[in-house]
Structure 1
Amino acid sequence: MTPTDDTPASPSPAGAGGAFEPAATRPVPPPAGNPSLEHTVERLVHDLLRDRRSERRWRVFFRLAWFGLFVAVAYAIFVESRGPAAPAGPHTALVEVSGAIAADAEASADTIVSGLRAAFEDKGAQAVVLRINSPGGSPVQAGIVHDEIRRLKALHGKPVYAVVEEVCASGAYYIAAAADEIFVDKASLVGSIGVLMDGFGFTGAMDKLGIERRLLTAGENKGMLDPFSPQNERHVAHAQALIDQIHQQFIAVVRQGRGDRLKDTPELFSGLFWNGEQAIELGLADRTGSLDYVAREIVKAEEIIDYTQRGNLAERLARRFGAGVGESLAIALRHLAPALR
């Protein structure tokens, strides 16, 4: 009797289809309930949900932030459109002249004159104080303000005082000369009664670089003071005569405003400036004193109400961040403003 062989027979090299199929190439189904795969999927789903929640929170945050900005801008427009609060009784009216005096600056004639008119027209204002901290600027803008101060003084019969902080020079002093009295600090800088016209000449640099200037004009003087052309003595003389005439206009305004208080020295109208003490000695200022001192001791009305007209928020942003952003915001706020006034 032959013993039974329990060893399995070797697989046949030919399968059912007659082709050889190595074991290593057969697809192996993933084992059921693989803990590693389940953990990976769970982690991916958790991360996805967490990212979605984070995105929602940031969206809510930015919407609230934009809404808060909108409310702040709207409130600023509303507050600015209301103007100064009405005082309970007699008060000192304040108008600021701060920074460069120019048509596109905060210290423009339009801005200053608007504040002056509001101050003079208020029956509770006992006097108008110009608080000045400016190096000067446009003689045209300064002249408009000066003439309006004199007109309003005559119309309303109220005194005007100028209080100088750090600087009252050139065009700023042109404005101050319309005041009845000028108060300074001992260290204030006052004066610079003169006119300048400045520019650059590039002809030497152009010669070195081999650059030729080609300028066509209709009118023999149209290219006057062109910085890329050689100086023309006739043009220079014409420009000098212009600024000399403006200088004489400035001197006449100062003499009219200060009168016999001026000590007429050769350097008084030379463009020099002096400290507060020297300005008092020369008659360019009257005495030392601050805004509070003038309101309390001179006007006898300690309550000070600011009538300075300041540009709205959109205009300030336009000056700070550029025309593109500022103009867009200004257009949007212009549509909003009528509903808030």
Structure 2
Amino acid sequence: MNENSLLQLLLSPAHKLLCTQEEFVAAIISCFPVAAQKSFADIVSTISKGFYSEPLTYRDSVKKELQAVSRQSEISVTDDFGSDTLDPDSLAYHRIKGMILSDTRYGFSTKQFAEDLLTADANPHISCHFLHITSGGGEAWYLDRVSEILRTLDKPVYTLIEKVCASAAYYIGCHGVQVKAVTQNDTIGSIGTMVSFYDIRPYLESLGLKYIEEYASKSRLKNKKFNDLVAGKPEQYIKEELDPLQMQFEAEVRRSRSALAALDPEHPVFLGESFDAVHSVENGLVDGIVTMPEAMNEAYGLGREWSRKNKMRHQAYSFI
């Protein structure tokens, strides 16, 4: 049975998002193809059929993309992070595409990404992590753990943005020693925090279903924050749920990108604005615009330099 992680993320108010509106809408359409359906029953039928058809796992789909990437250069690039038969100074290829989820086999998973980073970092045949990003963001949960791992990696990280790197995707991508974009028209930024979901109760009530909710006498605060949000009183939810995430996000970006560290807190970069690659170079979100082969050569150069310094370090230890 196919996982329903994305469906749960989109329908549950318990999940806070770091994503663009475009990424959210694209995810909604992928789960609810409303344009092609005539009734709610048709939509449910379509989704149910999808649960029983086995799609490609995310790892399998990445393998197909990696074949195209590998053809653009003679540099060894791999997604087999634990292999002991790789060429020296291979690049670890981490594809970050579409809606970011914490735990799924069929989309990009931050938990799997964390494991892959650690495995690749421990492999002596790999000298650089190559992050290839096309994503408008997604689930906020677990990003702090991923960032912690990215900060403590021994080997350099290179980030290449293709088309879009926004919100949660930039939360990840900002850790690159170098952050580059593929075209002038790539979209970068959206450093902001939001919650987005559909309140389906009015629709169910229109079908004759009556919603009942009662609490114990002492449970005065149970679900209050969420119920206030739905009722149009979001102040407590924003202050206690969204604002802390925003502060974490901004702090991580400032710590990872020296070019952004000195920006005023009210700079558009930290107010959720998105920019094309040209303006992103000007404001420090990215370092330049390159082709895929150029990016791979730059990442390979970072890896080679790391290998040289690492070899010298080990030689120095051997004389102690």
In the superposition, the TM-score normalised over structure 2's length comes to 0.59
Matched, 1:176 2:173: yes
Partner residue, 1:253: 252
**1:239 aligns to 2:212 (yes or no):** no
Q: Is the 8 A contact 1:108 1:141 kept in 2?
A: no
Tell me the equivalent position of 1:279. Answer: 280
Q: Which moved more, 1:116-125 or 1:274-283?
A: 116-125
Within 1, Cα distance between the matches of 2:230 and 2:145? Answer: 36
| CA deviation string 1:42-73 (max 9, x = no partner) | xxxxxxxxxxxxxxxxxxxxxxxxxxxxxxxx
Q: Which residue of 1 aligns with 2:129?
A: 128
In the TM superposition, residue 192 of structure 1 has moved relative to its aligned partner by 0.7
Contact 2:91–2:128 under 8 Å retained in 1: yes
Q: Deviations over 1:174-193 (max 9, x none)?
A: 01122211111222111110
Match of 1:190 among 176, 188, 191: 188
Alignment match, 2:197: 199
Q: How many residue pairs are counted as aligned between the two chains? A: 220
Question: C-alpha displacement at 1:136, in angstroms?
Answer: 0.9
TM-aligned CA deviation for residue 269 of structure 1? 1.4
Q: 1:1-341 residue pairs with structure 2 within 5 A?
A: 84=83, 86-105=85-104, 106-152=107-153, 156=154, 158-185=155-182, 186-200=184-198, 213-218=211-216, 219-224=219-224, 231=231, 233=233, 236-241=234-239, 242-261=241-260, 263-264=263-264, 266-300=267-301
| Aligned-partner Cα distance in 2 for 1:84–1:302 | 17
Kept after mapping to 2: 8 A contact 1:203/1:228: no
Task: Check the 8 A contact 1:161/1:180 in 2, yes or no.
Answer: yes
Deviation at 1:202, TM superposition (A): 7.2
For 1:210 and 1:252, the matched residues in 2 are separated by 48
Distance 2:142 2:199 in 1: 28
* Structure 1: 5+ residue stretches without partners: 1-75, 304-341
Letter aligned with residue 171 of structure 2: Y
Q: 1:130 to 1:230 in 2, by over 3 A?
A: closer
Give yes or no for contact 1:91–1:126 (8 Å, CA) kept in 2. yes
Report the Cα offset of residue 98 of structure 1. 1.8
Shift, 1:88, TM fit: 3.0
Which structure has the greater CA radius of gyration?
1
SS of 2:162's partner is: strand
After superposition, the Cα gap between the structure-2 partners of 1:128 and 1:228, relative to the gap in structure 1 and judged at 3 Å, is closer
Q: CA 1:122/1:302 → structure 2, altered by over 3 Å: closer, same or farther?
A: closer
Distance 1:302 1:114 in 2: 20
Task: Give the letter aligned to residue 214 of structure 1.
Answer: I
Contact 2:165 2:189 in 1 (8 A): yes
CA distance in 1, matches of 2:192, 2:81: 39
- 8 Å CA contact 2:84–2:125 kept in 1: the answer is no
Extract unaligned runs of 5+ from structure 2: 1-59, 64-78, 305-320
Residue matched to 1:327: none
**How far did 1:301 drift?**
8.2
Give distance in 1, aligned partners of 2:210 and 2:116: 51
Does the 8 Å CA contact 1:94/1:119 hold for their aligned counterparts? no
